[in-house]
């Protein structure tokens, strides 16, 4: 399905990465009139509809400049994030703070900063890239930060309802991008994830579950904890074996 984004103006954070590049490319394929491709060090794009935009989401001043530079945005793709090697929930506190500064505070900063822009442009759409790790018992700062952002996404949906903003959470497991290059496990393609995400935008979805393991995990969340967590431990053991 190739649902239209005809005439929309899109902002993609983390646009230089594997998933971000797909968000830019597929937005153009689906009819977007302009795409702001945001990254700390933006690259050149061979399309006049793409406008590179310097943006470090951990820098409040940089986010404010991005808002001033992109007042016509009606779809924000909150994609920027980090997953450092050796990440552990019991790791150095400074490293955990660095992860949260990007994956939680930075993502929330972008959402809050662009909310008035979306409201002024008819409500628009906010799509936050989360992770199945939000619901999985992985002992990492990455998982904890994504769980926090899942909760914040649900809160933003309530907060922005009055201005007509569609708030979507995209949850998915392993995607075949440079971020997961060190994991020898089954992965879905970035193209398939982005296609499902944009279908969700077009169809008015509130949540997009972009692979089968994530859909199965969501179906089990109402299971008693005494049953759920042993199953999660089994899945994690299989993942790292």
Which tokens is 44 given? Answer: 């050149």
Q: What is the pLDDT of residues 96-114, one digit of tens each?
A: 999 999 999 999 999 999 9
Strand order in the sheet with 207-209: 50-54, 34-39, 9-12, 75-78, 125-129, 166-171, 207-209
- Mean model confidence pLDDT for the chain: 93
Whole-angstrom distance, CA of residue 71 vs CA of residue 145: 29
Buried residues in 5-23 as b, exposed as e (16+ CB within 10 A): beebbbbbbbbbbbbbbbb
DSSP string, the chain: -----TT-EEEETTTTSHHHHHHHHHHHHTT-SEEEEEESSPPP-S-TTEEEEE--TT-HHHHHHHHHH-TT--EEEE------TT--TTS-HHHHHHHHIIIIIIHHHHHHHHHHHHHHTTS-EEEEE--GGGTS---SHHHHHHHHHHHHHHHHHHHTGGGT-EEEEEE-S-BSSGGGTT--S--B-HHHHHHHHHHHHHHT-SEEE-SHHHHHHHHTTTS-HHHHHHHHHHHHHHHH-
Strand partners, 171: 209
pLDDT at residue 2 in the model: 55
User: Of 158, 177, 170, whose CA–CA distance to 201 is shortest?
Assistant: 170
pLDDT at residue 11 in the model: 98
pTM of the model: 0.93
Which tokens is 134 given? Answer: 């939000």
51-55, 128-132, 170-174: the lowest-pLDDT one? 170-174
Whole-angstrom distance, CA of residue 58 vs CA of residue 100: 10
- pLDDT band at 1; cut points 50, 70, 90: very low
- pLDDT band at 183; cut points 50, 70, 90: low
Is residue 215 predicted with pLDDT exceeding 50? yes
Going from N- to C-terminal start, the domains of the chain cover 9-240
- pLDDT band at 235; cut points 50, 70, 90: confident
Question: In the CATH scheme, what is the homologous superfamily, with its name and number, of domain 9-240?
Answer: NAD(P)-binding Rossmann-like Domain (3.40.50.720)
């Amino acid at each position: 399905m190739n649902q239209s984004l005809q005439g929309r103006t899109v902002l993609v954070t983390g646009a230089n990465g594997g998933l971000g590049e797909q968000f830019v490319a597929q937005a153009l394929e689906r009819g977007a009139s302009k795409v702001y491709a945001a990254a700390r060090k933006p690259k050149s794009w061979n399309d006049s509809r793409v406008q590179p935009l310097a943006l470090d989401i951990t820098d409040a001043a940089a986010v404010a400049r991005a808002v001033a530079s992109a007042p016509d945005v009606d779809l924000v793709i909150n994609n920027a994030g980090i997953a450092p090697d050796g990440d552990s929930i019991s790791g150095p506190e400074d490293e955990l703070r660095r992860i949260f500064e990007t994956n939680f505070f930075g993502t929330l900063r972008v959402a809050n900063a662009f909310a008035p822009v979306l409201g002024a442009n008819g409500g628009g759409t906010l799509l936050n890239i989360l992770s199945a790790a939000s619901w999985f018992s992985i002992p990492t700062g990455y998982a904890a930060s994504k769980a926090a952002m899942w909760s914040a996404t649900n809160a933003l949906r309530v907060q922005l309802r009055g201005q007509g903003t569609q708030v979507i959470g995209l949850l998915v497991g392993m995607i075949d991008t440079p971020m997961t290059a060190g994991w020898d496990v089954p992965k879905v393609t970035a193209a398939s994830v982005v296609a499902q995400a944009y279908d969700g935008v077009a169809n008015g979805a509130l949540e997009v579950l972009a692979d089968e393991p994530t859909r199965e995990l969501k179906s089990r969340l109402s299971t008693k904890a005494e049953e759920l967590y042993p199953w999660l431990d089994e899945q994690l053991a299989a993942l790292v074996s």
